[in-house]
């Protein structure tokens, strides 16, 4: 166990586990009690279907193991794994505008009148539908972990809007399912500021060499440190001058390194040497169970330790099952932008 206040050294050796990279954690309403078979049947009604020729977007549940016609809910050591698939097609705006200008010019030339605002909107929609069959398709897969024993939901996403979409689909599909974002007694930004000022992180954690500080005044000034010692007066002065940590790199128990953000997003998760003994090597499909066991086993210990470090969890305030899904906390643009998260998640292997 690392000593409090010790800066962790850069660790090169990692375990090749790609199940979770950036996660948002939720608390599941304790009353939810569906069985594995019931959940499988419910998700099958929202199974993923590829986009049609004129369809802009399609989303639904796919087999986590990647095997056609396999289970939609995989249970490994009692942990449920599901996967959400999003497919979208987009026509470049510049192409639509060019086509629209051509149509408007043609109408003006033949009728002597300029199309109005409403007609232009209809023309734009028609052009988009015409071009969709030729548009490139983009896809993203989002891993979802349901820990029934601990009433915990973990979504592999750093994109708040995408996580919200997944939660909404779960709430609609699973009878009695309701969740709320994990809330802590101590605000993450306040805790991180204290750890940096005192250089005394909570037991079991070490402060690594990356952080971001942002001013709370109108200047919105941002200071970033990368691969840099953080036990220096300069960092402490920034904090005493009013800058608040928006993210801080930490390592837990010399087993998992990650970044904690002020919005309680756990980013850049890396499982370190020793967490996956015997799991490396072989083909991806052969390692699915081992990868899931490593990720859920380590995060299943890290998350409670992190909650304790933040003063414990606030009381659950879940929404009714038929209510709209709660919206995840959006990260500041300087921390995790939706574009960054999409780039990391798109076509990501489970």
**Per-residue pLDDT tens digits for 21-73:** 999 999 999 999 999 999 999 999 999 999 888 788 899 999 999 888 899 99
What torsion, rounded to 10 degrees, do the Cα atoms 186, 192, 197, 199 define? 110
pLDDT above 50: residue 320: no
CB count within 10 Å of CB 165 equals 18
| pLDDT of res. 314 | 84
pLDDT above 90: residue 150: yes
Closest CA to 119 of 132, 134, 106, 131: 106
| pLDDT of res. 107 | 86
CB count within 10 Å of CB 128 equals 19
| pLDDT of res. 321 | 37
| pLDDT of res. 67 | 86
d(CA 113, CA 147): 63
Mean pLDDT on 8-21? 59
d(CA 240, CA 10): 28
Confidence of residue 286 (pLDDT cuts 50, 70, 90): low
pLDDT above 90: residue 131: no
Closest CA to 214 of 201, 225, 224, 229: 224
Q: Which two tokens stand for residue 288?
A: 């699915």
| pLDDT of res. 130 | 75
d(CA 226, CA 233): 16
More confident: 314 or 303: 303
d(CA 306, CA 309): 5
Closest CA to 32 of 328, 319, 324, 327: 319
Q: Which two tokens stand for residue 105?
A: 């010019």
Q: What is residue 264's DSSP assignment?
A: S
pLDDT above 90: residue 223: yes
Mean pLDDT on 75-97? 90
Q: Which two tokens stand for residue 318?
A: 């879940």
pLDDT above 50: residue 325: no
């Amino acid at each position: 166990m690392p000593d409090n206040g010790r800066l962790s050294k850069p660790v090169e050796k990692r375990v090749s586990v790609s199940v979770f990279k950036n996660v948002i954690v939720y608390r599941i309403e304790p009353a939810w009690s569906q069985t594995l078979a019931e959940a499988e049947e419910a998700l099958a009604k929202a199974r993923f279907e590829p986009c049609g020729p004129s369809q802009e977007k399609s989303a639904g549940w796919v087999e986590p193991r990647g095997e056609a016609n396999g289970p939609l809910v995989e249970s490994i050591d009692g942990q449920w794994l599901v996967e959400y698939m999003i497919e979208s097609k987009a026509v470049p705006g510049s192409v639509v505008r060019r086509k629209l200008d051509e149509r408007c010019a043609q109408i003006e030339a033949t009728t002597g009148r300029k199309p109005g605002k409403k007609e232009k909107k209809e023309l734009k929609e028609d052009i988009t539908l015409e071009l969709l069959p030729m548009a490139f398709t983009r896809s993203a897969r989002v891993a979802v972990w349901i820990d029934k024993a601990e009433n915990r939901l973990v979504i592999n996403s750093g994109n708040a809007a995408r996580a919200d979409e997944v939660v909404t689909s779960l709430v609609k599909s699973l009878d009695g399912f309701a969740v709320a974002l994990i809330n802590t007694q101590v605000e993450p930004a306040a805790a991180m500021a204290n750890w940096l000022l005192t250089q005394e992180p909570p037991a079991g954690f070490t402060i690594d060499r990356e952080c971001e500080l942002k001013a709370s005044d109108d200047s919105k000034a941002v200071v970033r440190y990368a691969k840099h010692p953080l036990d220096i007066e300069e960092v402490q002065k920034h904090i005493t001058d009013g800058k608040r940590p928006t993210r801080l790199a930490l390592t837990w128990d010399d087993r998992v390194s990650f970044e904690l953000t002020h919005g309680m997003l756990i980013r850049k998760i890396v499982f370190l040497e020793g967490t996956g003994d015997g799991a490396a090597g072989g083909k991806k499909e052969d390692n699915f169970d081992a990868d899931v066991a490593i990720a859920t086993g380590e995060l299943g210990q890290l998350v409670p330790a992190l909650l304790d470090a933040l003063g414990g969890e606030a009381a659950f305030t879940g929404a009714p099952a038929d209510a709209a899904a709660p919206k995840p906390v959006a990260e500041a643009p300087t921390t995790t932008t939706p574009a960054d998260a999409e780039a990391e998640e798109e076509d990501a292997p489970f």
